[in-house]
Amino acid sequence: MRVSLALFVAAALLAMGVEAARAQADATRPQRHFKVQRPAGLSDPAAASIYDQILDELVRGYALSGLGPATGYRNWRRYNTAPYRSATHGSRYVSNYANATAKSYGGYERSAPMPEGSILAKDSFAVTKRGDVTVGPLFLMRKMASGFDADTGDWRYTMVMPDGSIFGVTNAEGSERVRFCADCHNVVGAAQDHRFFVPIKYRIKFLNIKPKSE
């Protein structure tokens, strides 16, 4: 009886060790964006007001990465009227930007595939039901030269944490950590050049954006 009990305890401890190791591995290879616990819902004016107040803090943190787009994005065109909560980005509030090369992004579903050098940026923040405001990661997509990575549609994904540390970059250090970004965008695939767009309710419309030819 004692032997059986000892074997049972040993097996249980082994299982716990395996689960702990698996959890640690999953922490370095996330399958989705870090999820905000107990996210709060905000009105559009409230979300816009908070964003205006923390934008400087967001940019200061991202700037520590040393990446040009991590600070330059602030001067790019923004495509949403107010921050909106994105379920695919951990229920954070996000805003969409694109550099000048990617200006046709404003055609949304009717826009042509992005040319090389196009960069899309999405900064983020969260608000909990307790009223805590926390800054979130910066998500970058850069269209690389043809042949860069067929599995990503030649997009390079980069995630910059609020403290400026780089969580991962496609085909570079931490590539496996941002693989789930490509997996998510591959859902829409080549039909939308692997891009998701601003929800219709929040879209800014531009008169000088030429749609792709039919």
Co-location of 101 and 1 in the same domain: no
From 32-46, 102-116, 153-167, 181-195, the region with the lowest mean pLDDT: 32-46
Co-location of 89 and 102 in the same domain: yes
Residue 88, pLDDT score: 87
Co-location of 144 and 41 in the same domain: yes
CATH number of the domain residue 78 falls in: 3.50.70
Co-location of 96 and 117 in the same domain: yes
What is the average pLDDT score of the chain?
83
> Does residue 213 form part of some domain?
no
Co-location of 22 and 38 in the same domain: no
> Does residue 211 form part of some domain?
no
CA atoms within 13 A on the CB side of 2: 0
Co-location of 87 and 128 in the same domain: yes
> Does residue 209 form part of some domain?
no
Q: Is the pTM of this model over 0.85?
A: no
- Report which of 138, 153, 148 is spatially closest to residue 71, judged by C-alpha positions: 138
Res 43 pLDDT > 60: yes
Co-location of 17 and 90 in the same domain: no
> Does residue 210 form part of some domain?
no
Co-location of 2 and 82 in the same domain: no
Would you list the DSSP string of 69-84?
Answer: HHHHGGGSEE-BSS-E
Query: How many structural domains does the chain have?
Result: 2
Using alpha carbons, list the distances in angstroms from residue 102 to 99, 144, 172: 5, 12, 23
CA–CA dist 114, 79 (Å, integer): 16
> Does residue 110 form part of some domain?
yes
Co-location of 38 and 17 in the same domain: no
pLDDT in tens, 134-177: 999 999 999 999 999 999 999 999 999 999 999 999 999 999 99
> Which tokens in the block code for residue 24?
């640690």
Supply the range of the domain harboring residue 140: 33-202
